[in-house]
Amino acid sequence: MISRFLSFLSLLVFGSAIGYVWAVIGEKQQSLYLLIGALLAGLFWVLVDAWRGYCVRSWLRQGDLAMAPQMSGWWGVLSDRARKLLRDRERRIAAGEQRLKDFLSAIQASPNGVVMLDANAQIEWSNQTAATHLGIHPERDLMQRVGNLLRDPVFAAYMALEQPVEPVVMAGHRHRVSRPVRISVQRHRYGEGKQLLLTRDVTMLEQAEAMRRDFVANVSHEIRTPLTVMSGFVETLQTLDLNAEEQQRYLALMAMQAVRMQGLVEDLLTLSRLEGSPAPNFANTLPLTSLLAACESEARGLSDTIANGAQTHLIQFEINPSLDHAMLMGEPRELQSALSNLVTNAVRYTPAGGRIDVSAAQEADASLSIAVRDTGAGIAAEHLPRLTERFYRVDRSRSRESGGTGLGLAIVKHVMQRHGGNLLITSELEQGSCFKLIFPASRWRITP
């Protein structure tokens, strides 16, 4: 401010000096010309100062740093200070925009859906996950009322609640009877009447919960039946005076039910072990010929037991000579369990006199296949996709008569998954079935 006053005063002195010189040259009244020179100098200073102020004001209205005027003096200091403030403001705005972009990018990458609604329940923003869950478009449906886009009565009733406590579960956008999709939606209020919708795909959770309920129900049912039989026999032995032959018959039936429960428990423990243990390494090996020989012995023994002196099954194990020195790499006990389940199932479900063929061969893609074929009643096509589910049975009565627990194929499936292989099932009614174990090339080798 002092420099500004000094510059004004200097200009007045300069104007007065010019007026004095003019008065001397023209032999005029000096005091008058001194006053005129000072007034003109002051007017010039005011005009120049006003012009500079106008330039600064015009620039401030535009706010473009590139158009900042270059000047000295007080207005120069003011413009420099304003330029610095504008630059700092732009930096803060850019930093805020970047943080907003990062925040939105993080929400966009979230596995959960997010929908922001204004006070009128219109969509202000949504991420792609929510769009997939609810069937909305992140851009096209902006400022559309969410109630007009989602017509599900469950959702409409949920949105009508003033303060919902629990989330609501509704059918997702791609929900089909054959392939259900279940979405959890939870609403939160924020700001002035705005709302936040959080969506989550709970299809797998609901399926897992349903499987858990079914599993508990099936286990309870499978155990209850032999327990009921054994309880009845025990009560009979306790209350009736039976001769030795009758007692032995009842005890034999009780032992049969005990064996059945023991098999169920062992299969459950096997499944639990398979699901909770790490994948088998490649250090352990099992000769293919040893595996087939053990399963052949088991199959013939089971066939003789079932036949009880009658006609047995025609059982044939065949291996390509080139695989005589083949070695499977994995957990021997699991591999033995997988093939044993397939072979014993074939014996149980094939009528007496039927044929069971087990063969091993190298496929075109260098994988190793072990196929178990039977001439049983076969399985209808609609049952094939569910055969590896726990406790799933095509014919429950026939399964119980054969002594199965309903867990064999589930165990086979888990074993093959742990070894990187597959279980392929083909069957036709009255034509028999084929169960094939496919081991990838990395899980077997031929030794010298």
Looking at 175, 201, 227, which one is the last position of a domain? Answer: 201
Strands 285-287 and 314-319: unpaired
- The domain that holds 298 is classified in CATH as 3.30.565.10
Q: Give φ, ψ of 242 to 5 degrees.
A: -100, 150
Q: What is the reported pLDDT for 370?
A: 95
Share of the chain above pLDDT 70, in %: 84
Per DSSP, what are the bridge partners of residue 125?
116
Listing DSSP states for 167-220 in one string gives: -EEEE-TT--SSS--EEEEEEEEETTTEEEEEEEE-HHHHHHHHHHHHHHHHHH
* More confident site: 69 or 289: 289
User: How is residue 48 written in tokens?
Assistant: 């120049």
Which residues lie below 8 Å from residue 262, measured CB to CB, with a gap of 6+?
A: none
**Would you place residue 413 in the very low, low, confident or very high pLDDT band (cuts 50, 70, 90)?**
very high
Question: Which of 201, 218, 235 is the endpoint of a domain?
Answer: 201
pLDDT at site 207? 81
Other beta carbons within 10 angstroms of residue 312's beta carbon come to: 18
Q: Which residue has the higher pLDDT, 401 or 183?
A: 183
Residues 87, 117, single domain; the answer is no
Both 436 and 358 in one domain: the answer is: yes
pLDDT tens-place string over residues 70-90: 666 666 667 777 778 777 877
pLDDT exceeds 80 at position 38 = no
- With residue 116 as reference, give the H or E element that holds it: strand 113-117
Contacts of 410 (CB under 8 A, 6+ apart): 271, 388, 389, 390
Cβ contacts of 382 within 8 Å, gap of 6 or more: none
Burial 130-141 (b: 16+ CB within 10 A, else e): bbbbbebebeeb
Tokens 């930093």 belong to which residue?
Answer: 95
Mean pLDDT across 209-235: 79
Q: Is the pLDDT reported for residue 403 higher than 70?
A: no
- Measured in residues, the chain has a length of 448
Instruction: Tell me the range of 1-10, 175-184, 439-448 where mean pLDDT is highest.
Output: 439-448
CA triplet 388, 347, 367: central angle to 5 degrees? 55
| Strand (E) or helix (H) holding 435 | strand 432-439
How high is the pLDDT of residue 265?
83
* Total count of domains within the chain: 4
Would you say residue 149 has pLDDT above 80?
Answer: yes
Most confident of 18-22, 277-281, 321-325: 321-325
pLDDT band at 431 (very low <50, low <70, confident <90, very high): confident
Residues 192 and 263 in one domain: no
C-alpha 382/C-alpha 253 separation (Å) is 35
Residues 40 and 70 in one domain: yes
pLDDT digits (tens, 9 = 90+) for 2-12: 666 666 566 66
Q: Does pLDDT of 397 surpass 60?
A: no
Instruction: Let me know: does 298 contact 340? Beta carbons within 8 Å.
Output: yes
pLDDT (tens digit per residue) in 377-390: 888 888 888 888 88
Residue position matching structure tokens 């909770």: 276
What tokens appear for 439 in the block? 């081991």
My answer on whether 193 and 242 are in the same domain is no
| Distance from C-alpha of 3 to C-alpha of 36, rounded to nearest angstrom | 24
pLDDT average, residue stretch 231-259? 84
Between CA 10 and CA 22 the distance in angstroms is: 18
Q: Is 145 in the same domain as 94? A: no
Instruction: Give the mean model confidence (pLDDT) for residues 407-431.
Output: 91
| Residues 178, 186 contacting (CB under 8 angstroms) | no
- Structure confidence at residue 360 as a pLDDT band (50, 70, 90): very high
pLDDT at 100: 84
pLDDT at 314: 92
One domain for residues 432 and 364: yes
Residue 44: pLDDT over 80: no
Q: How far is CA 365 from CA 83, 228, 369, in A?
A: 72, 52, 11
Q: How far apart are CA 226 and CA 268, in angstroms?
A: 16
The yes-or-no verdict on residue 305 having pLDDT over 90 is no
pLDDT at 55: 76
Minimum mean pLDDT range among 13-27, 172-186, 350-364, 367-381: 13-27
440 or 239: whose pLDDT is higher? 440
Q: Which of 277, 310, 338 is the last residue of a domain?
A: 277
Looking at the structure, tell me whether residues 123 and 51 fall in a common domain. Answer: no
CATH number at residue 271: 1.10.287.130
Name the token pair of 357: 């063929």
Give pLDDT, residue 218: 73
Helix (H, G, I), strand (E, B) or coil at 124: strand
pLDDT at 33 over 60: yes
Q: Do 119 and 173 sit in the same domain of this protein?
A: yes
Chain-wide mean pLDDT for the chain?
Answer: 83
More confident: 210 or 10: 210
How much is the pLDDT for 445? Answer: 93
> In terms of DSSP H, where are the helices of 109-145?
128-134
Q: What angle do CA 18, 24, 25 make, to 5 degrees?
A: 90
Same domain as 267, residue 168: no
Task: Please tell me what DSSP assigns to residue 163.
Answer: S
User: Same structural domain for residues 296 and 438?
Assistant: yes
For 237-367, list the strands marked E by DSSP. Answer: 285-287, 314-319, 326-329, 355-362
d(CA 392, CA 406): 6
What pLDDT, on a 0 to 100 scale, did the predictor assign at position 223?
79
3-state secondary structure of 415: helix
Label residue 283 by pLDDT band (50, 70, 90).
confident
SS3 7: helix
Domain of residue 232, residue span: 205-277
Domain shared by 354 and 436, yes or no: yes
pLDDT on residue 255: 86
Share of residues in the chain with pLDDT > 90 (%): 33
